[in-house]
Structure 1
Amino acid sequence: MRNEGRVGSTAGASARTPAGMRIAVLMLTATALAGCVVGPDYRKPILAMPAIWSGQKSSKPVKPPQLSKWWQRLRDPQLNALVDEAVTGNLDVATAKAKIREARASYRQSAGTLFPSVDGSGSATRNKDSSSTSSGTASDAYSQYQAGFDASWELDLFGANRRNVEAARYGMDASEEELRSTLLTLIGDVASYYAEARGYQARIGLARRAAASQMQTAALTRTMQQAGMSTAADVAKAMGQASSTEADVPTLEASYAEAVQRLSVLTGRPPAVLTERLKRVAPIPTPRLPIPTGIPADILLSRPDVRMAERQYAQYTAKIGQAEAARYPSVSLTGDIDTTAFKVGDLGKNSTIGWSFGPTLSVPVFNGGQLKAAVEVARAQRDQYFIAYRSSVLTALEDVENALVSLRQERIRNSKLASSAKSYGDAARIARTLYKSGETSLLDVLDTERSLYSAEDDLLQSRIAIATDYIALNKALGGGWDGTIDTAKPEIDDVKTGPRLASKPVTQ
């Protein structure tokens, strides 16, 4: 017990020396402030959201949206395959994956600042003293070897590095949400262009059928002219209407080609790749309606662009603390140890060993208001991202409401157009029968045929609109890709990255 007391007394005496006291105070202060940070702590904002979507009945229970693989409810295997190919090959997706790898590496880089850094060094020199010895002869040449380590550690008393790590972590989250947002847009675009391509095919077929029917009317008019029941002017009118309908085909063919070529590019391939594959006519995708939409608050969790905006707001909140910490003192612990010998084998044994250790204190005294201005910059940037987050929420609400209204009204319009096309079809058949018997004029026949073609084309466009409105609604609700995505594999595999002889650059 007495020995322990003597040891404690000796340690206490050492701590009471001026240098020992200063080091002890610094170490105690560093320990006390190890968990200290400055700047605002992030709190996820609470935004006022509507209780229900417009058109919903509050008395009925609300079902959550079914967003997982929503495009499969269009019941088109070709579309399902194109979505899978686009997710794998799209270049925007590849860019978003590279951004995730960048964000993850930046996070690891920031996290490394929380730990000490150690560097090793070594040197070998050949020396000779030109002065003479006491005996009058010059000294011999000798070799000197030195090895050592340098270490440093910033104590991060006020959390500058920890705020930097926090911001990097939020940035990594934001990059992952950006990938989800890219996938959401991509899948929606693939489905929309596919529906449009099938719609153009249907409209091309309708135009050709209508033109063929109108050519039959023109042939009948020519026969009736030969029998003296019609005139050359009637024949010309019938031929003119048929040619006018045929003239729609090239325009529709061009639009179809543009949709197919866009689909090819979305899958990461040259524009003409899918031309032969989609050449065979298929029906316009028809969704199963109605679909559950949940409540407005769901978009805060399902929309990746909203989630990305929230993560960016969090990231720039952390940056305020990083800027604020720069206004406070910083303390670093530095130390080094080195050994010097005249032989390599003597390093660490028969050698001269030196070391040093101590804290370094840096205190901002005068900087012309730069550090304070940097904090104000960070706060202004944080405010901008908060506004961007609120704006993304309002945009998401608007997208859903617009898609709901468009889909609801288009279904009503489609019902009316179907009735209209049926009535014009009956009128056209009756008019042709009456024309053959000479009980009506050619003008009535041409008018009913033109009205029938227009009504059937409007009906096809309405079916395309229903499909695209369904797609837009699922996009607005946040439906995207929920499968696995390999973000770790780089696009380029570098070779020969280690030390080697430099080669001449390749010239063209």
Structure 2
Amino acid sequence: MKSAGQATTALKNWNGKPSICKRAMVIMPLALVLSACAVGPDYVKPSLAVPAQYTSTNREQSAAKPQLSRWWTRLADPMLNALIEEAVQSNLDVATAKARVREARATYHQSVGTLFPTVRNTDSATRQRSVAGGSSGAASGPQITSQFQAGFDVSWEIDLFGKNQRGAEAAEYGVQAADEQLRLALLTLVGDVASNYVQARGYQARIALAQRTAAAQRETAQLTKSRFDAGGISGVDVATSTGQASTTEAAIPSLEVSYAEVVHRLGVLTGRAPGDLATRMKRGGPIPRPKLPMPVGIPADILSARPDVRQAERVLAQATARIGQAEAARYPTISLAGNIATTGSKIGDIAKNSSIGWSFGPTLNVPIFNGGQLRAAVEVEQARRDQNFIGYKAAVLKALEEVENALVAIAQEQIRYRKLTASVVAYRQATTLARSLYQGGSANFLTVLDAERSLYTAEDALVQSRIALGTAYITLNKALGGGWNGAIEVSKPELVDQDMGPRRASTRP
């Protein structure tokens, strides 16, 4: 008898065999001695070359593995923590990802079911009326006969070349890919909630700054009017100071619109109506400030940390298993079928030895000619595998790019923040001195006007830099793969069907 490997090689070039009988002689022993056999490629996780370190790191940044678990708590903002917890439980994108996990698990159970025999119960009862003719040609009257039958049918496709096993393998990889998709949805959600929260606090700070600046400019305008009434200055200074205060106040409505938009977005991200968080957010709070620098690890870490990279790798594994499934379709299949039945004209006759019949036997299905369809199906799956391999490499490159960009953004924003801080200190001193000189009559109003305008611009830019620093910190943690790592309940459906059993059909709404 040939070994399993020899027999598989012999069967692979099937169209060259002259006799079906010879094929059957090879297949039947294999069905008995092989519990499982697989064709097609076995998946091996590809090894991708990644840089040894990030090019955008500086001396202050450690190559130690980053602490990504619940990274947002290091912003020390209790309300942000609460909003993220609420969003994880109620966000609709996360709920959709949970449903996809349930779908993938159910698909896997379907695929595993193909590895086992199928057993069906076959019961029947018939009653027949017939009219028989007598010897003289006249009808002898109706005859009524009854027949009762009970039995079982059993069928089992022997997975000789692993077609069903490869299908179950692909479905299992599909479950793992769906799990990673859920983690990706959670990572995106956490980042979006944190980013919008920082933006909301930033708009509140900018609105408050504009209001304080406008109030100070109104005081300057009042001082100018007092000096005008005393005949010390011209009306041009009064009009200019009043116009500057109005210009600053005119920026507030646009900031209010932007603030309302991010608060509405936060509401939707947490699964609420857009305006439900307005009252809670009005309490105000500082712009979250990250502790920098933070360790970023090495580029190889993202292969295991980023859920989108892990998902792409699992999809590649699934595509590889499907090649084996398509390849197995080119080989013969053996099915075992049998039944046992008992028949009687009366229920009492059922199960008597004389009324019991059975049958059992294998069925051999050999693909002889199909116009190249089966080979083409393998090539289709191979091309899809190649696409997924490219997608996996693209996911890795995208992850590296996002980390590098975030590192550059944080480094440059820190420089900008330091410069803006120095600028605000200088303009604040200049404004104080200009007002003092103006009140003493030693400076003209244009000096005061220019100092106040420059101070407001610098202070607003400093607030925006704080927002940018917080956002860059969030982006870096997302790029490194930081997301939700707590327990997630995925088995609970969104809608529970109450009455699934047989019942009277109702009119559709």
Query: Offset of 1:134 from its aligned partner?
Result: 7.0
- The answer to whether the 8 A contact 1:52-1:58 is kept is no
- What is the Cα deviation at residue 138 of structure 1? 4.4
Structure 1 stretches lacking a partner, 5+ long: 1-20
Residue 101 (structure 2) pairs with residue 100 (structure 1) = yes
Per-residue deviation, residues 90-132 of structure 1 (Å, max 9, x unmatched) = 0000000000000000000000000110111111111244224
Mean Cα deviation higher: 365-374 or 399-408: 365-374
**1:240-259 to 2 correspondences below 5 Å:** 240-259=243-262
Q: Distance in 2 between matches of 1:22 and 1:434?
A: 107
Deviation at 1:271, TM superposition (A): 0.3
Letter in 2 for 1:472: T
The 5 A counterparts of 1:286-365 are: 286-349=289-352, 351-365=354-368
Match of 1:45 in 2: 46
Partner of 2:430: 427
Give 1:38 deviation, angstroms.
1.0
Of 178, 182, 202 in structure 2, the residue corresponding to residue 179 of structure 1 is: 182
1:279 aligns with 2:273: no
Selected match of 1:211 from 201, 210, 214:
214
Return the TM-score normalized by structure 2: 0.92
Equivalent residues of 1:110, 1:165 under 8 A apart: yes
More displaced, 369-378 or 386-395?
369-378
The CA distance in 2 between the partners of 1:55 and 1:305, in whole Å, is: 22
Q: 2 CA distance for matches of 1:40 and 1:480? A: 34
Structure-2 change in CA distance of 1:483 and 1:60 (3 Å):
closer
**C-alpha distance after superposition, 1:288-313 (max 9, x if no partner):** 11111111111001100000000000
Displacement of 1:61 in angstroms is: 6.7
SS in 2 for 1:428: helix
SS of alignment partner, residue 141 of structure 1: strand
TM superposition shift of 1:62: 2.8
What SS does the corresponding residue of 2:127 show, helix, strand or coil? strand
Post-superposition shift, 1:372?
Answer: 1.1
Identity fraction in percent: 60
Counting only pairs closer than 5 Å after superposition, residues 16-27 of structure 1 correspond to structure 2 as 27=28
Post-superposition shift, 1:453?
Answer: 0.1
Q: Give deviations 1:69-106, integer Å, cap 9, x for gaps.
A: 00000100000000000000000000000000000000
What is the alpha-carbon distance in structure 1 between the residues aligned to residue 350 and residue 26 of structure 2? 36
Query: d(CA) in 2 for partners of 1:258 and 1:57?
Result: 36
Counterpart code for 1:131: A
The 1:59–1:267 alpha-carbon spacing in structure 2 relative to 1, beyond 3 Å, is closer
Paired AA for residue 78 in structure 1:
M
Cα 1:57/1:79, change in 2 over 3 Å: closer
Secondary structure of the 1:360 match is strand
Amino acid at match of 1:90: N
Distance verdict in 2 for CA 1:220–1:139, change over 3 Å = closer
Equivalents in 2 of 1:331, 1:71: separation in Å? 57
1:239-281 superposed Cα distances (whole Å, 9 cap, x missing partner): 1111000011000000000000000000111100000111112
Q: Secondary structure at the match of 1:247?
A: helix
Give the TM-score taking structure 1 as reference length: 0.93
> Could you tell me which amino acid in structure 2 is paired with residue 123 of structure 1?
S
**For residues 293 and 59 of structure 1, do their structure 2 counterparts lie closer, same or farther at Cα, with a shift above 3 Å needed?**
closer
CA contact (8 A) 1:341 1:351 kept: no
AA partner of residue 97 (structure 2):
A
1:436 paired with 2:458, answer: no
Question: Are the aligned partners of 2:187 and 2:483 in contact in 1 as well (CA < 8 Å)?
Answer: yes
Aligned residue in 2 for 1:464: 467
Distance in 2 between the 1:430 and 1:268 partners? 52
1:503 Cα offset (Å): 1.0
Residue 297 of structure 2: SS of its match in structure 1? coil
**Which residue in 1 is equivalent to 2:160?**
157
d(CA) in 1 for partners of 2:353 and 2:284?
89
CA–CA separation in structure 2 for the residues paired with 1:125 and 1:274: 69
2:125 maps to 1:127 = no
CA contact (8 A) 1:340 1:351 kept: no
1:395 and 2:378 are equivalent in the alignment: no
Counterpart code for 1:480: G
Deviations 1:380-407 (A, max 9, x none): 1000000000000000001111111101
**Distance in 2 between the 1:334 and 1:271 partners?**
61
2:473 maps to a residue whose letter is Y
- Indicate the larger mover: 152-161 or 390-399: 152-161
Q: Per the alignment, in what secondary structure is the counterpart of residue 123 of structure 2? A: strand
Contact 1:67–1:474, Cα closer than 8 Å, also in 2: yes
**Structure-2 change in CA distance of 1:61 and 1:405 (3 Å):** closer
Separation in 1 of the partners of 2:189 and 2:398?
19
Q: Partners in 1 of 2:94 and 2:102 — Cα distance? A: 13
Tell me if the contact between 2:326 and 2:378 (Cα under 8 Å) persists in the aligned partners: yes
Q: Which residue number in structure 2 is paired with residue 478 of structure 1?
A: 481
What is the rounded CA distance, in whole Å, between the counterparts of 1:218 and 1:459 in structure 2?
25
RMSD: 1.9
**CA distance in 2 between partners of 1:133 and 1:44 (Å):** 81
CA positional deviation for 1:23 = 9.3
Structure 1 residue 110 and structure 2 residue 111: aligned? yes
In structure 1, give the amino acid aligned to 2:330.
Answer: R
- Aligned pair count reads 486
The counterpart of 1:410, out of the listed 407, 410, 413, is: 413
1:336–1:357 contact (8 Å) kept in structure 2: yes
Say whether the 8 Å CA contact 2:117–2:154 is kept in structure 1. yes
8 Å CA contact 2:56–2:404 kept in 1: the answer is no
Partner letter of residue 116 of structure 1?
P
Correspondence list, 1:192-211, <5 A: 192-211=195-214
Residue pair 1:132, 1:139 contacting (<8 A) in 2 also? no
Deviates more, 1:288-297 or 1:469-478: 288-297
Match of 2:85 in 1: 84
Aligned pair in 2 of structure 1 residues 191, 419: CA closer, same or farther (>3 Å)?
Answer: same
Q: Distance in 2 between matches of 1:59 and 1:70?
A: 19
5+ unaligned residues in a row in structure 2: which ranges?
A: 1-21
Contact 2:413 2:469 in 1 (8 A): yes
